Amino acid sequence: MGLVVPAVLLRHPRYTVLVAVTFVIATLVLTAPSAPSVLLGSNVGLGSTSSLNSESWVEDAVREEEVRYGVMLKDRAAMVRKYGPTPESVQAYAYSTQFPEGLLYTLWDFYIPSFQCPHRVERLGTMGDGGKWVCGFERVAKQPECVIYSFGINEESSFEAALLTRSPGCQVWGYDFSVSRFGPEIESLPALKSRSHFHPYALSARDAHAPEASPPEYTLASLMAANNHTWIDVLKVDIEGAEFESLAQFVDDFSGGNGVLPVGQMQLEIHAREWSGYGDFAHFNVWWEKLERAGMRPFWTEANLVYLNIFKSGLMRVYWLQYSFLNVRGEHALVSDKYN
């Protein structure tokens, strides 16, 4: 028997197209899987799919991103060979006087934030200098307790205040030898100040806090031990170049062998200038790869355009960049399905 087509469809071909399209869409909806296993196309909303996806959706997403990150590492090695061919022969900042036209690059082009956080990424704190990009803080905020460490206050605490406001279980430990307290965003609000702890100490690669020390210097491991902490949920570091040796020591203290760096995520301002000792590519690359071997993966970056504008000149380089890192190791809220 042939297909019987209603007369109305023969008289109005547009209706025929509409019916066909509707039929195709309905078929796709009815035959599609109940939910995607992992959504990797966007940073927004992934955390809300946990009830639809498999029970291991977070860990699956992290594993898939690790594969993609491995591809980026190969691309970086190829870029080093192109401009090097070894790290020791790569210039951190290339100018047209050094290379033919079309071969310009910066240090930061080698270190792109290619790891995608499997949760919502958002900027907390004031717009402009002060705010930071964080991964999945809605998951951290659900914990009964969370620990925040902040190095470099400079009388501006909008980021720390935003974290405390979002999670009543969070407390923040702040360190900065150049000021005597947190910024007004915390100091002016008793509810936040009661969950904040400030010390005029310097983060360092050594412990030098004898009574005559000025300023007192502490390693991150020593501060955690003094505070009886075994884990930091959010670590913010903005210490004007001292981050290199301090964080290298942090990695050495905790992640040797199969150890896990005790931090969930890190918001870091990097100051890659000559005076820091890490203005050359090879030295910087060794330090960066040390973080990577410890499980730290950059998921966001933001240039500090405020200072670029302040010190603007024809030869000004972008020395300061904000990076946000996720620790893919350990068992914590951002990488483990046990926290769903």
**Structural contact between residues 177 and 147, judged by C-beta atoms closer than 8 angstroms:** no
Distance between CA atoms of residues 295 and 37, nearest Å: 24
For residues 133 and 10, membership in a common domain is answered with no
Is 280 domain-assigned?
yes
Residue 102 pLDDT greater than 90, yes or no: no
Give the residue among 315, 314, 303, 241 at the shortest CA–CA distance from 111.
303
For residues 234 and 332, membership in a common domain is answered with yes
Is 229 domain-assigned?
yes
The CATH number of whichever domain residue 104 belongs to comes to 3.40.50.150
For residues 142 and 269, membership in a common domain is answered with yes
Residue 30 pLDDT greater than 70, yes or no: no
Residue 160 pLDDT greater than 90, yes or no: yes
Give the residue among 120, 149, 179 at the shortest CA–CA distance from 263.
149
Q: What does the mean pLDDT of the chain come to?
A: 83
pLDDT tens by residue, 176-214: 999 999 999 999 999 999 999 999 999 999 999 888 888
Residue 219: give the domain boundaries.
57-339
Is 128 domain-assigned?
yes
Is 46 domain-assigned?
no
Would you state the pLDDT for residue 256? Answer: 67
**Regarding predicted confidence, which is higher, 14 or 286?**
286
For residues 276 and 328, membership in a common domain is answered with yes
Q: How many separate domains does the chain show?
A: 2
Is 104 domain-assigned?
yes
Is 223 domain-assigned?
yes
pLDDT tens by residue, 291-326: 999 999 999 998 766 666 666 654 456 777 999 999
For residues 148 and 219, membership in a common domain is answered with yes
Is 82 domain-assigned?
yes
Is 50 domain-assigned?
no
Select the highest-mean-pLDDT range: 49-58, 195-204, 257-266.
195-204
For residues 28 and 128, membership in a common domain is answered with no
Lowest mean pLDDT among 46-60, 178-192, 273-287: 46-60
* Residue for token pair 């730290």: 296
For residues 20 and 154, membership in a common domain is answered with no
Would you state the pLDDT for residue 312? Answer: 60
Distance between CA atoms of residues 74 and 81, nearest Å: 11
